[in-house]
Structure 1
Amino acid sequence: MNDFQEFVSKSMLWFEGLAAVVALFHYNTVKKQYWKFFVFYLVFIFLCEAFGRWGNFIYFSKAKYYNYFVMPAQFIFFYWLYAAKSLGKPKLFLILSLLYLFSFIPNELFFSESKIIFAFNYTFGCLILMLLIVMEYYKQITSQNILNFGRNRMFYINLGVTLSYIGTLPFFAFYSPLRKYLEIWNVYFDYFLISGVIMYILFSISFIWGKQSS
């Protein structure tokens, strides 16, 4: 990484921590709602990322830690938040989560040469998330409270997830081939880092400005 990328990478970790602190500060206002699990999620992700940066990887590699644990936890949580809670479709959550988990099978059988990023698995997980994002946007656009979108917590979360996960989909889907074109790879990597920072800022804003009561 160059100096700019190193700076933004460190900044993203601290913005993750900031989002966790902001969420904890608002915990009492959401502790009787399902949003308390979003608080737990932000704390969990910050701890995972902190371990990813400073932890000791003796018994397993950092790549396995992210591919088999951190990324699946993120995808499944967002499937739950979108499908089961925001869209009110718990069966859809179960179906999509199972489909995502099953994607590890072809990944192991046909894409085992991918050592850093499980491109197939990540791409499939993002495509599922994209479907839920579109459904959420449709729900927000057709809502009677569309003029009060600034008070909708899911508006900020959906925007952040769109910019980060969907915006970086081409980067991770073609991660290995792009390594041969370092200039293009660096542009995508810069976007990945910057969009990550913006996403966690939006997560923080969702607690500060979002007043969704359920």
Structure 2
Amino acid sequence: MTDFQKIAFDLMYWTEGLAAVIALIFYRSIKNQYWKYFSLYLVFIFICESIGTWAGHFITYNKIAFYNYFVIPVQFIFFYWLYAAKSFNKEKLFFGLSALYLISFIPSELVFFREKIMFSLNYTLGCLILMVLVIMEYYKQINSADILNFNKNKMFYINLGVTLFYIGTLPFWTFLDFIGEYRKLYNIYFSYFLITGVIMYLLFSISFIWGKQSS
């Protein structure tokens, strides 16, 4: 990593921690709402990132498998739940999309190499599903009678963060094997990945501070 990327990487980690702390601060006011699970999700992600960052100094474990088989699937399935089951009130859609995503592990196991940093097939499908949900959420917000108060809508900040980070970095992780051969392009896109990661977790933090807590 370049010096800038090292700084951005550390900053992304600590903004995840900041989001987790803010989520816990606001937990009491939302403990009777489904938003409490978003708080717990952010704490969970920070714990996972802490394991990914520090655990290798103390124990031997497969970091690639930890992220590809556990952390990343949990991230996608949580957002499918938040969008489909809660924002759109379509639980069947949530279960259907989650099943479709999980089934994609079968061809990935049979065809692709397990030692890859990112399982491109799973991540690509997971992001494409998430992109559809993001577009649906934008459509819902635009057509909402409360559109003028978008700055009080928690999903506005979450949706924007997901757009910048997950959707914005989709080409990077999908074509990582090819992009890696072009170091300049790789560094630009990896820097974008880190910067948008910082922005996303800041937006998640803002969603608690400025967003309505009554949902």
Alignment TM-score, normalising by the size of structure 2 = 0.97
Indicate the residue corresponding to 1:156 in structure 2: 157
Q: Distance in 2 between matches of 1:146 and 1:106?
A: 42
Residues 41-73 of structure 1: per-residue CA shift (max 9 Å, x gap): 000000000110101385641111110011000
Indicate the residue corresponding to 2:85 in structure 1: 84
State how 1:104-123 maps to structure 2 within 5 Å: 104-112=105-113, 115-123=116-124
**Structure 1: which amino acid aligns with 2:100?**
L
Indicate the residue corresponding to 2:134 in structure 1: 133
Which blocks of at least 5 consecutive residues in structure 1 are unaligned?
A: none
Residues 80-135 of structure 1: per-residue CA shift (max 9 Å, x gap): 00000011100000000000000001111122266111011100000000010011
- Match of 2:144, SS state, is coil
**Structure 2: which amino acid aligns with 1:40?**
L
CA contact (8 A) 1:151 1:212 kept: no
- Match of 1:155, SS state, is helix
Q: How many residues align?
A: 214
Moved over 6 A (4+): none
CA contact (8 A) 2:12 2:194 kept: yes
Between stretches 58-67 and 154-163, larger displacement belongs to 58-67
Q: Distance in 2 between matches of 1:79 and 1:209?
A: 23
Indicate the residue corresponding to 2:211 in structure 1: 210
Which blocks of at least 5 consecutive residues in structure 2 are unaligned?
A: none
**Structure 2: which amino acid aligns with 1:106?**
P
Percentage of identical aligned residues: 65
Indicate the residue corresponding to 1:4 in structure 2: 4
Indicate the residue corresponding to 2:194 in structure 1: 193
Q: Is 1:45 aligned to residue 42 of structure 2?
A: no
Between stretches 49-58 and 153-162, larger displacement belongs to 49-58
Q: Distance in 2 between matches of 1:192 and 1:32?
A: 34
**Structure 2: which amino acid aligns with 1:162?**
T
Q: Distance in 1 between matches of 2:189 and 2:172?
A: 6
Q: Is 1:24 aligned to residue 27 of structure 2?
A: no
CA contact (8 A) 1:96 1:128 kept: yes
CA contact (8 A) 1:100 1:125 kept: yes
State how 1:140-179 maps to structure 2 within 5 Å: 140-179=141-180
Q: Distance in 2 between matches of 1:113 and 1:133?
A: 29
Q: Distance in 2 between matches of 1:175 and 1:203?
A: 27
> 1:142 offset after TM fit, Å?
0.5
CA contact (8 A) 2:30 2:213 kept: no
Q: Distance in 1 between matches of 2:171 and 2:210?
A: 31
Indicate the residue corresponding to 2:182 in structure 1: 181
- Match of 1:116, SS state, is coil
- Match of 1:55, SS state, is helix
